[in-house]
Amino acid sequence: MFEKSIKAYEEAKEVIPGGVDSPVRAFKSVGGTPPFIDRGEGAYLIDIDGNKYLDFVQSWGPLIFGHCDSDIEEAVISTAKKGLSFGAPTVLETQLAQEIVDMYENVDKVRFVSSGTEAVMSAIRLARGVTGKNDIVKFEGCYHGHSDSLLVQAGSGMATFGAPSSPGVPADLTKHTLLCEYNNIENLKKCFEDSNDISCIIIEPIAGNMGLVPASLEFLKACRELCDANGALLIFDEVMSGFRASLTGAHGIVDTKADIITFGKVIGAGMPVGAFASSKEIMGHLSPDGAVYQAGTLSGNPVAMAAGLVSLKKLKANPEVYDKLNEKAKKLVNGLKVVAVNNGIGLQVDTRGSMFGFFFADEMPRNFQEVTDFCNFERFAKFHHEMIKKGFYFACSQYEAGFIATVITDEMIDECIKAADEVMKSL
Ligand SMILES: *Cc1c(COP(=O)(O)O)cnc(C)c1O
């Protein structure tokens, strides 16, 4: 079934470290060979062996309209025909920025970059530049891209000076990263007692990188209050949740407002785009208006902007899409839960808009440590493997969220639940 992928994987490993350009793609946490993809068709992925999968990954979030959406495709092709990059301003950038400014009451200006990593890295530099302070507060289990000061290991749950979680990151570069437990207000307070040099809190308000673990409303409120009381800025990393959890991401669901917001994924509709956005006062510190330097040769790339623009316009014109996506997400995870329970298996599920998560656990985890402690990773690996064989492509780790695209139908979800029932019998 996977002959060509197995061969392609071996060949890739000869010339690309681990055979992949982003580690999660190697399926290390579930085992087996990652299918090499030939193409996407709406809700489906088709691999080079000709296997077809219902895709609940959607490129890790960007493809809210599924693969090969005709409007996005058309915009990309017609824009590409005018030239791929100019390194000079285009009106497409203004148009996409305007869409975001119109959606968010706390945003006046947007700067585009080419990835979520870049967006967060730049947002943190800006927060440090604006406040003149050095420390940043980050939560265990939140992922903010792979820049040096954010690659800090999930630690003991105590407020502690972060240790780098990768060789190649000097401890000197992470000593300003203070690590706290997600959803733990006491822990966060202690962090602010320990340091008077905190420039910002960076948080995924709806964490999707330890499975789906939303922050409690009280916790976000505490983040806001502690920032205000200590002259720090609050950054919502909405690279995943932006235009996914709702049209305005977490901002459409919780009442806490951030000072700086980062975007990625859906904002580029599958093209490499990131962005960070804030008030005109804060963004005024950014070069060339201000002194905080930030730049990019391909930033605001016209083809990428065109894709993002069509995507956001479509979402804005059809805001009811989020209710429909959420109904489908609920149908999926509630269905999975029923068949799990029927087979004597504990499953914890949650959704936010088009994002969903399920944990093979008897109790709902609220932070990274609990995800690690509560979940049966072996069971997840087996589930994942068997579902792939039946044509259902879920994220290859218990630490990842799942995504519904508009092209995924109720019938497809019914088929998935039926397949999951058969698989759960063998777990
Ligand atoms: C994916 C992700 C990033 C990193 O984005 P890249 O485009 O992979 O660099 C940052 N923050 C969050 C919350 C993400 O989900």
- Residue (of 334, 336, 313, 333) closest to 92 by Cα position: 313
Lowest-pLDDT range of 159-163, 215-219, 293-297, 421-425: 159-163
Distances in Å between the alpha carbon of 394 and those of 27, 54, 60, 321, 418? Answer: 11, 9, 10, 22, 15
List the catalytic residue out of 55, 135, 237, 350. 237
Q: What is the pLDDT of residues 177-232, one digit of tens each?
A: 999 999 999 999 999 999 999 999 999 999 999 999 999 999 999 999 999 999 99
Q: Ligand 1: distance of its center to the CA of 117 in Å?
A: 6
161: pLDDT confidence band, cut at 50, 70 and 90? low
* CB 382 within 8 Å of CB 43: no
Ligand 1 atom closest to 262 (CA): 11
Residue type, 47: D
Is 399 among the catalytic positions? no
Q: Which two tokens stand for residue 405?
A: 């695209």
Residue type, 165: S
Ligand 1 atom closest to 208 (CA): 15
* Rounded CA separation 129/132 (Å): 5
Is the pLDDT reported for residue 21 higher than 90?
Answer: yes
Q: Residue 138: CB within 6 Å of ligand 1? A: no
* Rounded CA separation 396/410 (Å): 23
Q: Which regions of 314-398 does DSSP assign to beta strands (E)?
A: 348-352, 355-359, 392-393
**DSSP-derived secondary structure letter, 146:** S
* Rounded CA separation 236/242 (Å): 10
Q: Give the CB-side neighbour count of residue 59, counting CA atoms within 13 A.
A: 22
153: pLDDT confidence band, cut at 50, 70 and 90? low
* CB 371 within 8 Å of CB 213: yes
Ligand 1 atom closest to 118 (CA): 9
Q: How confident is the model at residue 168, as a pLDDT?
A: 87
Lowest-pLDDT range of 2-6, 159-163, 337-341, 404-408: 159-163
* CB 176 within 8 Å of CB 149: yes
The pTM (predicted TM-score) of the whole model is: 0.96
Q: Which residues pair with 352 in a beta bridge?
A: 355
- Residue (of 392, 398, 356, 407) closest to 379 by Cα position: 398
Mode of pairing for the β-strands spanning 198-203 and 233-237: parallel
Is the pLDDT reported for residue 156 higher than 70?
Answer: no
* Rounded CA separation 63/270 (Å): 6
Q: What is the pLDDT of residues 44-68, one digit of tens each?
A: 999 999 999 999 999 999 999 999 9
Q: What is the pLDDT of residues 222-272, one digit of tens each?
A: 999 999 999 999 999 999 999 999 999 999 999 999 999 999 999 999 999
Q: Ligand 1: which of 265, 266, 368 to mutate, judged by most atoms within 8 Å of the beta carbon?
A: 265
165: pLDDT confidence band, cut at 50, 70 and 90? confident
Q: Which two tokens stand for residue 269?
A: 């509709």
* C-alpha dihedral, 68 to 69 to 70 to 73, nearest 10°: -60
Q: Which two tokens stand for residue 327?
A: 């109904």
* Rounded CA separation 69/62 (Å): 12
Mean pLDDT to the nearest integer, 409-424: 98
80: pLDDT confidence band, cut at 50, 70 and 90? very high
Q: How confident is the model at residue 158, as a pLDDT?
A: 38
Mean pLDDT to the nearest integer, 24-42: 93
Mean pLDDT to the nearest integer, 397-403: 94
- Residue (of 135, 141, 90, 146) closest to 264 by Cα position: 146
Q: Angle at Cα 233 formed by Cα 227 and Cα 239, nearest 5°?
A: 120
Is the pLDDT reported for residue 407 higher than 70?
Answer: yes
Q: Mean pLDDT in the chain?
A: 95
Q: Ligand 1: distance of its center to the CA of 418 in Å?
A: 32
Q: Residue 117: CB within 6 Å of ligand 1? A: yes
Q: Residue 268: CB within 6 Å of ligand 1? A: no
164: pLDDT confidence band, cut at 50, 70 and 90? confident
